[in-house]
């Protein structure tokens, strides 16, 4: 069972040190103000200190119990008064009994007891209050800390869930159209059909991966992106032309996984779906000081009005960047004549998971 | 139907592998003759006019003209088998009296059933397809609000972006659309537009009027419990009592 003083070694040490000083102080006070012998004075001082200290330690458990219960104020007050009474009686009885048992000059000590009774009760009540209040303080500090921890944990969980949801938003139509292409290829070219099944499997494994490391090198991301693009190439054939211009030093930079795929999907949706012309999608990546800049550029038909689409793909990318990097990363999109550009800026960081 | 009593079919589908699987499945159907294939909706429109097929295999998401938009601008509709990866349009497809709705990828058996159904319908229907079939659907494609309206003038196709629409007026079986660059007549119901236009931007304020909220300049009382909406370009349109209530909910004035 946890005890805020007993469970912490240095607190326990300091606690006894304080009682030692109190005991010493009481002994000295008795020596100077009464006729009692030095040994009786010390006995009284230290016994009362030690006994009070032990009783005070055990008080933690009822206090803990009272504070967690849903008692009304009246019951709480009654509880405390009763506890105080028991503690005080026990303390006085034990101290007196032990000192009397040790020494023969009982009468002096007995008269000293009746003289000092009110002082004792007053001092004990004061100490008792201090200890109870300290316990309550400890409990509330502990509660606040626990609450903060719970909140932080909850927030983290929410963030994780949101990231997971944002990441795994692969358009199901992509999957079904790909499967349809495969179904078609099994008739005309079973070898290519098998290749496509493998590519689709590898890509889905990457896209749906629940692994902890959610940042990957650009190289890994590109490898998996190419699986996706190969599948799209089978669907759209000559209509889709892909180009890449990537500086070699970009390859080891870490980026969130599946961050490029939605940008390609967007380019394909607005380029290839809406137009009958050839659509070129070009990826540029370069490293600037402590950051990587990736742009995905595609041509589109500026006359076309999209039949639908709510742009959730791009919004998800922005939101993910925000969750990962707060405001240190951004996504910018521009339309100029018939060119659509999506620009990603991601800071280099060894550890971005907090 | 042509002389040899064969059924003519056209494939309208933007992905090549998807076209080739339909062609492959069709080989077993001797009574069906493939007369053409199209990679986009506009090509489909031209080919339907030119070849007058009995049956079309129609994808929904395509460049230039979606499958549904294509049907909207057709005067005479052939029998339709939808082939798509989108399951959310099935209800609308059957509203439009489609023979069948094939979800990609579909097995041969399912395809055969659809074609047999189409053959039966065509043989029984005789000249049915020459009658103008009206669009009876009351909803837009799937759950997304409408983004554009397709207009056909002869062979030319144009689009009105929904954000350019000022208001719409019912005219018998048609709807006159007043937009930033003029007006256009569509064979469509008010109910359809009421359900399909973005609900935050448009309001059915009268049995015969839907207006873009953005284009309403002010509301004036007119007689007992009726009102007039004054548009930014000066038109004065009637507002019904329920229309006025809806307006009050959407905008505060």
Which residues from chain B sit within 8 angstroms of residue A238, using beta carbons?
Answer: none
The shortest CB-CB distance from A308 to any of B62, B85, B147 is to B147
CA distance A49 to A44: 8
Chain center to CA of A54? 38
Lowest-confidence region among A62-71, A304-313, B106-115: A304-313
Residues A22 and A145 in one domain: yes
Residues A77 and A181 in one domain: no
- Rounded to the nearest angstrom, the minimum Cα separation between A71 and chain B is 49
Q: Give the mean pLDDT of A271-278.
A: 80
Indicate the CATH number for domain B7-130. Answer: 3.40.50.2300
Residue B253 has what pLDDT? 57
Residue B202 has what pLDDT? 94
Average pLDDT, chain A: 86
Position A4 in a domain: no
Residues A15 and A75 in one domain: yes
pTM over 0.90: no
- With an 8 Å Cβ cutoff, is A183 touching chain B? yes
Q: Which residues of B touch A (CB under 8 A)?
A: 14-18, 20-21, 24, 39-40, 42, 61-64, 66, 69, 85-86, 103-106, 141-142, 144, 147-148, 159, 161
Given A111, A141, A163, the domain boundary residue is A163
Residue A307 has what pLDDT? 67
Residues A49 and A155 in one domain: yes
Residue A154 has what pLDDT? 86
- Rounded to the nearest angstrom, the minimum Cα separation between A303 and chain B is 10
Give the best residue of B63, B69, B102, B163 to mutate against chain A (max A CB count within 10 A): B63
Sheet containing B32-38: give its strands across. Answer: B32-38, B7-12, B55-58, B79-84, B100-103
Across the interface, whether the CB atoms of A184 and B18 are under 8 A apart is answered yes
- With an 8 Å Cβ cutoff, is A278 touching chain B? no
Lowest-confidence region among A93-107, A120-134, B39-53, B194-208: A93-107
Residues A179 and A267 in one domain: yes
- Residue A341 sits in a domain whose CATH number is 3.30.565.10
Cα distances from A266 to residues A174, A299, B105, in angstroms, run 12, 12, 23
- Rounded to the nearest angstrom, the minimum Cα separation between A165 and chain B is 21
For chain B, residues with pLDDT lower than 50 are 1-3, 127, 129-132
Across the interface, whether the CB atoms of B66 and A307 are under 8 A apart is answered yes
Contacts across the A-B interface (CB distance below 8 Å): 79
The shortest CB-CB distance from A307 to any of B14, B104, B147 is to B147
Residue B132 has what pLDDT? 44
Across the interface, whether the CB atoms of A235 and B15 are under 8 A apart is answered yes
Q: Give the mean pLDDT of A222-246.
A: 92
Position A354 in a domain: no
Residue A40 has what pLDDT? 84
Give the best residue of A170, A177, A301 to mutate against chain B (max B CB count within 10 A): A177
Residue B130 has what pLDDT? 43
Residues A98 and A198 in one domain: no
Residue B1 has what pLDDT? 45
Position A3 in a domain: no
B-chain residue closest to A304, CA distance = B64
Give the DSSP per-residue string, B114-128. Answer: HHHHHHHHHHHHTTG
CA distance A297 to B93: 36
Position A137 in a domain: yes
Residues A178 and A117 in one domain: no
Lowest-confidence region among A44-48, A190-194, B109-113: A44-48
Q: Total domain count for chain A?
A: 2
Q: Yes or no: say if B78 and B54 are a contact pair by the CB < 8 Å rule.
A: yes
Residue A276 has what pLDDT? 79
B-chain residue closest to A309, CA distance = B144
Task: Look at residue A209 and tell me whether its pLDDT is greater than 60.
Answer: yes
Chain segment A140-181, per-residue pLDDT in tens: 898 899 999 999 888 888 887 777 777 667 788 889 999 999
Across the interface, whether the CB atoms of B17 and A181 are under 8 A apart is answered yes
Residues A63 and A37 in one domain: yes
Chain segment B118-166, per-residue pLDDT in tens: 999 998 875 454 444 555 566 655 556 788 899 988 888 889 999 999 9
Which residues from chain B sit within 8 angstroms of residue A234, using beta carbons?
Answer: 17
Which residues from chain B sit within 8 angstroms of residue A237, using beta carbons?
Answer: 16
B-chain residue closest to A176, CA distance = B85
Given A112, A132, A163, the domain boundary residue is A163
Residues A143 and A282 in one domain: no
Write the class of the CATH domain B148-250. Answer: mainly beta
- Rounded to the nearest angstrom, the minimum Cα separation between B148 and chain A is 6
Residues A147 and A232 in one domain: no
Task: Look at residue A336 and tell me whether its pLDDT is greater than 80.
Answer: yes
Task: Kindly give the residue spans of alpha helices, DSSP state H, lying in A103-215.
Answer: 106-167, 172-188, 190-208
- Rounded to the nearest angstrom, the minimum Cα separation between A62 and chain B is 59
Which residues from chain B sit within 8 angstroms of residue A308, using beta carbons?
Answer: 141-142, 144, 147
Q: What percent of chain A has pLDDT over 90?
A: 34
Given A163, A183, A198, the domain boundary residue is A163
The shortest CB-CB distance from A306 to any of B17, B21, B147 is to B147
The shortest CB-CB distance from A173 to any of B14, B21, B85 is to B85
The shortest CB-CB distance from B85 to any of A180, A306, A310 is to A180
Which residues from chain B sit within 8 angstroms of residue A186, using beta carbons?
Answer: none
Residues A216 and A300 in one domain: yes
Across the interface, whether the CB atoms of B85 and A177 are under 8 A apart is answered yes
Across the interface, whether the CB atoms of B15 and A177 are under 8 A apart is answered yes
Residue A138: give the domain boundaries: 9-163
Residues A141 and A99 in one domain: yes
Lowest-confidence region among A85-94, A217-226, A297-306, B194-203: A297-306
Cα distances from B190 to residues A202, B92, B111, B158, B185, in angstroms, run 49, 17, 36, 21, 12
Domain positions in chain B = 7-130, 148-250
């Amino acid at each position: 069972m946890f005890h805020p003083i007993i469970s912490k070694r240095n607190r326990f040490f300091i606690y006894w040190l304080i009682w030692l000083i109190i005991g010493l102080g009481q002994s000295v006070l008795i020596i100077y103000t009464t006729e009692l012998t030095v040994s009786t004075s010390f006995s009284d001082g230290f016994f009362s200190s030690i006994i009070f200290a032990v009783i005070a330690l055990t008080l933690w458990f009822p206090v803990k119990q009272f504070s967690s219960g849903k008692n009304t104020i009246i019951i709480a007050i009654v509880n405390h008064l009763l506890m105080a009474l028991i503690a005080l009686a026990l303390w006085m009885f034990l101290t007196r009994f032990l000192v009397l048992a040790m020494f023969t000059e009982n009468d002096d000590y007995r008269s000293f007891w009746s003289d000092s009774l009110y002082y004792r009760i007053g001092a004990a009540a004061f100490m008792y209050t201090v200890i109870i209040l300290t316990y309550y303080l400890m409990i509330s500090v502990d509660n606040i800390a626990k609450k903060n921890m719970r909140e932080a944990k909850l927030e983290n969980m929410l963030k994780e869930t949101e990231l997971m949801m944002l990441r795994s938003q692969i358009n199901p139509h992509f999957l079904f159209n790909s499967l349809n292409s495969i179904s078609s290829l099994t008739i005309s070219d079973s070898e290519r059909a098998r290749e496509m099944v493998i590519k689709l499997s590898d890509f889905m494994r990457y896209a749906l991966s629940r692994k902890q490391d959610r940042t990957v090198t650009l190289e890994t991301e590109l490898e998996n992106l190419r699986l996706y693009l190969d599948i799209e190439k089978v669907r759209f054939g000559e209509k889709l032309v892909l180009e890449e211009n990537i500086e070699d030093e970009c390859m080891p930079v870490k980026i969130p996984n599946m961050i490029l795929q939605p940008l390609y999907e967007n380019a394909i949706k607005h380029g290839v779906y809406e137009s009958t012309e050839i659509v070129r999608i070009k990826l540029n990546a370069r490293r600037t000081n402590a950051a990587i800049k990736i742009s995905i550029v595609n041509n589109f038909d500026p006359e076309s009005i999209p039949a639908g689409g709510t742009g959730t793909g791009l919004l998800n990318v922005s939101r993910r960047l925000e969750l990962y990097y707060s405001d240190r990363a951004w996504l910018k999109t521009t339309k100029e004549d018939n060119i659509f550009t999506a620009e990603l800026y991601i800071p280099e960081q060894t550890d971005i998971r907090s | 139907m042509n002389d040899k009593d064969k059924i003519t079919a056209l494939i309208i589908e933007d992905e090549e592998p998807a076209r080739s699987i339909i062609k492959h499945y069709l080989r077993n159907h001797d009574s069906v003759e493939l007369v053409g294939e199209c990679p986009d909706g506009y090509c489909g429109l031209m080919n339907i006019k030119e070849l007058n097929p009995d049956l079309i295999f129609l994808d929904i998401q395509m460049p230039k003209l979606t499958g549904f938009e294509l049907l909207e601008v057709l005067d005479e509709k052939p029998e339709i088998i939808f082939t798509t990866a989108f399951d959310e349009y099935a209800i609308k497809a059957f509203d439009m009296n489609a023979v069948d709705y094939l979800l990609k990828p579909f097995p041969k058996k399912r395809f055969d059933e659809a074609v047999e159904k189409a053959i039966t319908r065509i043989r029984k229907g005789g000249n049915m397809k020459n009658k103008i079939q009206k669009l009876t659907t009351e909803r837009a494609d799937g759950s997304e609000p409408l983004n554009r309206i397709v207009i056909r003038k002869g062979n030319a196709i144009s689009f009105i972006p929904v954000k350019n629409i000022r208001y719409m007026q019912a005219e018998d079986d048609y709807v006159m659309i007043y937009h930033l660059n003029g007006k256009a007549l569509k064979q469509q119901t008010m109910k359809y537009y009421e359900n399909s236009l973005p609900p935050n931007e448009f309001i059915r304020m009268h049995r015969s009027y839907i207006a873009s909220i953005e284009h309403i300049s002010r509301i004036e009382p007119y007689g007992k419990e009726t009102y007039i909406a004054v548009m930014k370009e000066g038109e004065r349109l009637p507002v019904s009592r329920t229309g006025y209530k809806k307006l009050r909910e959407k905008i505060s004035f």
